[in-house]
Structure 1
Amino acid sequence: MYETLIPSLLITFREALEAALIVTIIITYLRKIGKQELNKYSIMGALIAVISSVLVGIAINSYYGGLSEVASQLFEGIASLTAVVVLTSMIIWMTKHSKEIKGELEGKIEQAVTQSEVYSISALSFVAVAREGLETVLFLTASFVQDQLGTIIGALVGIATVFGISLVLMRGTMNLEIGKFFRVTSILLLIFGAGLTGYGVHELIEAGEGSGYDLGVLGEKPFDINPGLNSDGTYPVLHENGLVGSILKALIGYDGNPEWLRIIVYVGYWIVIGSYLYKQSKI
């Protein structure tokens, strides 16, 4: 359960907090310029986005439930890699623009209020929350097919935590360093992204083998460091499905017997994305 609970909690927390920060900026700024009566439009846009994201998630998982084993593996692989692309793109974008968000958003609010376009306020909230909602749905779909309970618990804890923080932020009793927050969480998300990349490749390999495709040496497993099962049939703590192993699997994408292709892609992800973000941090 840990292999999905921890990533789901952090992803949901990060995405929900990002959306909540934007909505909080809108509400706080409207209050600052004496237009707090427009707050309802911001909240309305956010609620519509949340409902839309939930419906998309239900639709995707309903579709997954009717697939064959090979099709399910193919779906999991594609869903995981799609989530990685979206997640990584978001990390790169936030690395470049996290310091500019507040000023740009306040400018758009000022324009909407000046032109009496009240529904533009709803649109700002909707777009912000819907974007984060879609990213969350894509990741949770990849996580949900692995472990439903762990994913749900992680997501609920993440949302509940963000809700509490949002209330404190709107009351002005807490100052969050947005830039520092995104830098720290981006590193953690990069780690999860690498692990999810490896998992997605593994599922595609299994789908290919299940369909009769031979990947040759790329599909071979060069080692297996997983210890054998305990006498009672349970997993040892260091097994990839054991207590410690499952936590490492969640945090760094640990796999005791990976395929060559998975190793190559996993290391490649770290080299390419890690190097890019490191260079960006020096600019």
Structure 2
Amino acid sequence: MFAAFLLALREGLEAALIIGILLGALEKFQLQSLKRFVWLGGVAAVGASVLVGWGLNVLGMEFEGTAEAAFEGIMMILAAGLLTWMIFWLRRQGATIRQALEHEVRVETQRRGAWGLFLVAFTAIGREGIELAIFLLATRFAAGALPTWGGALLGLVVAAFLGWIVFATTYRLDIKRFFQVSNLLLLLFAAGLVAHGVHEFNEIGWIPALVDPLWDINHWLPENTFLGQVLTALFGYNANPSLTEVLAYLAYLVGIGFLLLPKPSWHVARA
């Protein structure tokens, strides 16, 4: 449930910030009469995201046996890739999101008028929604349907509340710190998705297990206990993983962690 909550909270907060930036841009450019088109674009984007999520769920239920394992594995790897891309994109572009959106508002309203603004809102918020739909589908495979949808709903409610606090009151949240902490948790979650995906591919023979299991600690911490389920949903815990699962988990964490570490700056002293 916590994984779905965190994903929905983060994506929902990003969508709330986008809406706030777009509405602020309209105030800045004296285009307050077009505000409803931001909300229309946002509502349409939410509807499209729900349809995408529903379609992916229906598609997943059509598969059985090997096809089901392959679909789940592919969706988990895809979700891990999207999470990684999202973290790097926000790290690189986070400081210029406001300027980029304001530029889009200026250009599109001049080019297409109100419907250009609708398109900006629909595209920006729709990206967040479709990403969330894929993340939640992968989370459902790992944690089950009820905890996933319950956590997602709670996360979206909290995101809407926090978005209201940011833009309707004088109180300012430390959004930068929130994204830094959530980045760490989401990297661990993504590593778990990679391991889960490799596990599914082990089952259908797409990736050899090499050693299966590498260890078995079910007698200490079974996956079907409450703690085991929480660790499985959050961090990809497996009480009896294969060697390739463990290698995939470690390779992802080490590789992505290295890329995210701040690079040292070397200064050559002049004589």
TM superposition score normalised by structure 1: 0.86
Within 1, Cα distance between the matches of 2:207 and 2:78? 24
Within 2, Cα distance between the matches of 1:84 and 1:214? 18
Counterpart position of 1:175? 172
Deviations 1:138-161 (A, max 9, x none): 111112234110111011001111
Within 1, Cα distance between the matches of 2:215 and 2:155? 36
Q: 1:31 aligns with which of 20, 23, 27?
A: 27
- Structure 1 residue 226, shift from structure 2 partner: 1.4
Q: 2:203 aligns with which of 190, 202, 206?
A: 206
Quick one: which amino acid aligns to residue 34 of structure 1?
A: Q
Q: Does 1:164 align with 2:177?
A: no
Q: Does 1:256 align with 2:239?
A: yes
Percent of residue pairs identical:
34
User: Bigger shift: 199-208 or 219-228?
Assistant: 219-228
- Structure 1 residue 176, shift from structure 2 partner: 3.1
Counterpart position of 2:50? 54
Q: 2:252 aligns with which of 266, 269, 272?
A: 269
| CA separation of 1:273 and 1:92: change in aligned 2, threshold 3 A | same
Q: Which 5+ residue runs of structure 1 have no aligned equivalent?
A: 229-237
Within 2, Cα distance between the matches of 1:150 and 1:214? 30
- Structure 1 residue 280, shift from structure 2 partner: 6.1
Quick one: which amino acid aligns to residue 226 of structure 1?
A: N
Deviations 1:125-174 (A, max 9, x none): 11111111111111111122341101110110011111212222231333
Within 2, Cα distance between the matches of 1:205 and 1:69? 13
Q: 1:220 aligns with which of 212, 220, 224?
A: 212
Counterpart position of 1:246? 229
- Structure 1 residue 49, shift from structure 2 partner: 0.9
TM superposition score normalised by structure 2: 0.90
Within 1, Cα distance between the matches of 2:174 and 2:111? 32
Within 2, Cα distance between the matches of 1:281 and 1:13? 33
- 3-state SS of paired residue (2:240): coil
Q: Does 1:40 align with 2:36?
A: yes
Counterpart position of 1:235? none
Q: Which 5+ residue runs of structure 2 have no aligned equivalent?
A: 267-271
Pairs aligned (count): 265
The two structures, once aligned, show a CA RMSD in angstroms of 2.2
Within 1, Cα distance between the matches of 2:179 and 2:252? 20
- Structure 1 residue 214, shift from structure 2 partner: 8.6
